[in-house]
Amino acid sequence: MNHLMIMPIVIPLLTGAFLLVMYRYNIGRQRSLSIGSTLLLVVFAVWAVLQAGVTDYTLYRLGNWQPPFGIVLVLDRLTAIMLLLTALLSLFCVLYASRGSDREGSHFHALLQFQLMGINGAFLTGDLFNLFVFFEVLLIASYALLLHGGGRARSRAGLHYVIINLAGSALFLLALGILYGIAGTLNMADLAHVIANAPEADLPLLKAASLLLMVVFGIKAALLPLLFWLPRAYSAASAPVAALFAIMTKVGFYAMVRVFLVVFGLDEAAPANDTVLAWLWPMALVTLALGAIGVLGAASLRTLTAYMVIVSVGILLATLSRNDEQLLAASLFYLLHSTCMTAVFFLLADLIGRYRDNGYDRFSIISPLSHRWILGSVFLVAAVSMASLPPFSGFVSKAWILQSSSHLPDYLWLWGAILISGLLIIAALSRAGSGWFWRPEEHTGKTVPALDSARTAAVCVMVTISFLLALFAQPVMDYLAAAAELVYQPSGYVDAVLGDYVRQGGEVTE
């Protein structure tokens, strides 16, 4: 059964390779294969969630090489929930793109599969160098997906995106070189053991490596001042690509959790972690504030949604910086909610733009809108959820965060940032909705285009996820609380991965 663990990597890899070979075949076959692949990913992700609920850690040793010598994949509750979120999101994105967006350029489905391979690999890997490799896989695919369809806006956004992420990759390699020079290993479990027992003379280099990794993951997660590429890139991408990109910033957050709370967290004193978390707290709050201001000043729904992604990143990293188990569990619930809803808004912006005579999704242009009752209803429900109002998952997630942080000495800063940003999101979405759906209906005499029922259904089902998360909040919260508990017990991770191997004096003996 452990062989099933590698399926989230193997399936998109083989599917992407086969799609490249059959590129000249009928687009319908390509779509069927891509949809089938993502459906399989959903099935294996559900298995992963169930497996992680039974066994704390499930390992897959490639080539049966024992850690820390060989490559190891590690499945726990946190990994499983991220795999499920990615699989569901990718399924809806493929379904939406199969209505015509995939024809804007070449190799859409192959590139999407390679990106899924990189994302899933980043979640499963137990080795920092392989985390770098999977980062590069997903980034190369995302470069091409961002440019898919061409155009000046996408080319400019893609150039900025490529440059800053290449710089991040160079810093990642530098950080890995420092860690390998100190520890002689990049296996996360073994590295955690070495760092916890490192002499004081190595502490400055360990702090330098941890700060470099914070910059690297900060680029992926869009942490201030490394976030200015995101609004332009996400608003320029096609709708299904932007919706899939909603999970990309969460990969950076996941990497921070795994590295700073596990690799650098085995030592209870965690001196290397103190510096990172001290810097992360104010930077996350300013990221949150900048995102909220951007939401209020956005000129289009796509740009507004991109800034809502930045707001979600600010909240997630602010909660992470407080280094609290209950708060991490609450932030994971918010991660599920914010990822789904920002993806919804990227797709909804495209859907609305298709039925406006002019202006696409820009707020400043007044233009007749077809099917306004259906689109307005979907927008209203999505806006209520994104604004964190009951009875949707946004309300549950933020209420849990506020409750979990109430015992912290500086909780008022977090409360104020979250509540004020929520108020600004309500104002921005209210402005957008009233401008589009509350105006008197105009009859231009033009033929009203038929509503794309498949695209609309995909968006509606995604909105429903928010309600289902709220409806089944308690079992989801219990699962996430157990996931956070495992994260804050790094010794269990180390013992599970290394098994009977103990590192002594630079040698690993059994």
Give the mean model confidence (pLDDT) for residues 211-221. Answer: 90
Secondary structure element (H or E) that encloses residue 30, with its range: helix 27-54
Annotate 26-54 with b (16+ C-beta within 10 A) or e (fewer). Answer: eeeebbebbbebbebbbebbebbbebbee
Task: Give the model confidence (pLDDT) of 122-157 as tens digits.
Answer: 999 989 999 999 999 998 998 888 888 777 778 887
Alpha-carbon span 58 to 5, nearest angstrom: 8
Give the mean model confidence (pLDDT) for residues 483-501. Answer: 85
- Short-list 116, 5, 100, CA closest to 50: 5
| Residue 505 pLDDT | 45
Alpha-carbon span 336 to 147, nearest angstrom: 27
Alpha-carbon span 268 to 281, nearest angstrom: 20
Instruction: For residue 422, give both structure tokens.
Output: 């929520």
Alpha-carbon span 48 to 81, nearest angstrom: 8
Give the mean model confidence (pLDDT) for residues 210-234. Answer: 88
510 pLDDT band, cuts 50/70/90, is very low
What is the residue-averaged pLDDT of the chain? Answer: 86
Secondary structure element (H or E) that encloses residue 73, with its range: strand 72-75
Alpha-carbon span 400 to 394, nearest angstrom: 10
Residues 202/182, Cβ–Cβ less than 8 Å: yes
pLDDT at residue 81 tops 90: yes
What are the DSSP calls for 161-218, one per residue? HHHHHHHHHHHHHHHHHHHHHHHS--BHHHHHHHHHT--GGGHHHHHHHHHHHHHHHH
What residue segments make up the domains of the chain, in order of their start? 6-441+451-490
How many other β-carbons are positioned within 10 Å of the β-carbon of residue 398? 24
272 pLDDT band, cuts 50/70/90, is low
pLDDT at residue 385 tops 70: yes
Alpha-carbon span 466 to 199, nearest angstrom: 48
Give the mean model confidence (pLDDT) for residues 311-335. Answer: 92
Give the mean model confidence (pLDDT) for residues 190-199. Answer: 85
| Residue 368 pLDDT | 66
Residues 86/138, Cβ–Cβ less than 8 Å: no
| Residue 26 pLDDT | 81
Residues 112/29, Cβ–Cβ less than 8 Å: no
Task: Give the model confidence (pLDDT) of 435-478 as tens digits.
Answer: 777 766 665 556 667 777 888 888 899 999 888 988 998 999 99
| Residue 500 pLDDT | 59
| Residue 286 pLDDT | 92
3-state secondary structure labels for all residues of 14-29: HHHHHHHHCCCCCHHH
Residues 393/466, Cβ–Cβ less than 8 Å: yes
pLDDT > 70 in the chain, percent:
93
342 alpha carbon, distance to own chain's centre? 11
Residues 345/301, Cβ–Cβ less than 8 Å: yes
Alpha-carbon span 301 to 148, nearest angstrom: 20
- Short-list 371, 232, 350, CA closest to 301: 350
146 alpha carbon, distance to own chain's centre? 16
359 pLDDT band, cuts 50/70/90, is low
Phi-psi region of 323 (alpha: psi -120 to 50; beta: other; left: phi over 0): left
145 alpha carbon, distance to own chain's centre? 16
Alpha-carbon span 304 to 173, nearest angstrom: 34
How many residues can be counted in the chain? 510
Q: Which of 45-49, 182-186, 403-407 has the highest mean pLDDT?
A: 45-49
